[in-house]
Amino acid sequence: MRVLVAGGSGFIGSHLCDSLLADGHSVIVADNYITGRKRNLQHLADHPHLTIIEHDITNPLHVEVDWIFHLASPASPVGYMRHPIETHVTNAVGTHQLLQLAQRLGARFLFTSTSEAYGNPLEHPQSETYFGNVNPVGPRSCYDESKRYAESLTMEYVRQFNLDARIVRIFNTYGPRNDPNDGRVIPNFITAAKSGQPLVVFGDGSQTRSLCYVSDLVRGLRVVMQEPELAGEVFNLGNPDERTILELATIIIEQCGSRSQIQFEPARQDDPERRCPNISKVRSMLGWEPTVSLEDGLQATIEYFSAYETLPV
Ligand code: UDP
């Protein structure tokens, strides 16, 4: 297949490119590097089936493809709060551009939404039928609400134009190529633990997250795109292995063999208290479930961070 990966230079996008190219697909990456990084695709620079275009998806893109994966958006809280307007516009105007492209080409479309669409959830674990509990004017709303808007727009293209579009809600994902500066919990904790600095826990650390290793997540994206007859379907992708942030800090200190302490700081505004995907739908319809344990995934991520300074920029 000819595949467009919008946001292909990002953390998850770059792993998706690896996976698609390994299976013989031709890949075009469009990325404006607002949070994506050139180093993530450096190892594929000479690949004959990869084309990288520096492009902002809020502008029209002229390519011929069969599949469009839309992963283009800042996605970490620090990343989207640093670029709130760009996050809004990318998910609104950028998604519209890509939907128009898909419609014109008759291409299959996969929109990557987020567990943030559920906000600070009142239903636990979160299933796809839950409407969410989102603060529409809070500091996270540039991401939550623009992703919700983009989901809605995608569904209109399914209803109005029979576009073959699917939506995936990605829960917290980690692994090699996590940006050490994007403020996410795992890169922050590993960087601190390795340098003997305190691990900063926001709030009392009782808030939970369910962490999915990137190879599992990419396999899920591939399955949702590949399967026929899924137009208009929404799937959670994530690992239901729920942990508190305090537990995560303790595990990372131990796995890094670190003497770092844990330091508590005030909670972030609107920080979701609990987050855990219900993955029964994707498991029963598509047979997908994560296979990499938190401990194994963290080990591989810690190794990546250990080699980070020596990797090509
Ligand atoms: N967190 C933390 N210390 C950090 C970074 C994050 O305690 O250095 C907490 C954060 O408050 C949240 C959780 O870890 O409860 C996950 O945060 P992250 O930024 O990775 O993503 P989120 O799931 O909030 O989108």
What are the pLDDT digits (tens) for 255-273?
A: 999 999 999 999 999 999 9
Is residue 80's pLDDT more than 70?
yes
Q: Summarize the confidence of residues 171-178 as an average pLDDT.
A: 97
Nearest to 117 by CA among 2, 250, 229, 277: 277
CA of 202 to the centre of ligand 1 (A): 7
pTM: 0.97
Q: Is 46 exposed, middle or buried (0-12, 13-18, 19+ CB in 10 A)?
A: exposed
Res. 45 pLDDT band, cuts 50 70 90:
very high
User: pLDDT tens digits for 21-40?
Assistant: 999 999 999 999 999 999 99
pLDDT mean across residues, the chain: 97
Distance (angstroms) between ligand 1 centre and the Cα of 185 equals: 5
pLDDT tops 90 at residue 308: no
Q: Is the pLDDT of residue 155 over 70?
A: yes
* Residue of the CA atom closest to atom 5 of ligand 1: 185
140 lines ligand 1 (CB under 6 A): no
Residue 100 Cα distances to 104, 176, 256, angstroms: 6, 33, 47
Any idea where the domains of the chain sit in the sequence?
Answer: 2-171+213-238+276-291
Q: Which helix (H) or strand (E) holds 97?
A: helix 95-105
Poorest-confidence range of 69-78, 167-176, 277-286, 302-311? 302-311
Please identify which of the residues 118, 143, 157, 213 carries the catalytic annotation: 143
> Which residue has the CA at smallest separation from atom 18 of ligand 1?
184
Give the architecture-level CATH label for domain 2-171+213-238+276-291: 3-Layer(aba) Sandwich (3.40)
Task: Indicate the pLDDT class of residue 312, thresholds 50, 70 and 90.
Answer: low
Q: Is-catalytic flag, 143?
A: yes
Closest Cα to atom 7, ligand 1: which residue? 201
**What is d(CA 16, CA 198) in angstroms, rounded to the nearest whole number?**
33
115 lines ligand 1 (CB under 6 A): no
Q: CA nearest 24: which of 3, 38, 45?
A: 3
Give the pLDDT confidence of 82-104 residue by residue, as tens digits. Answer: 999 999 999 999 999 999 999 99
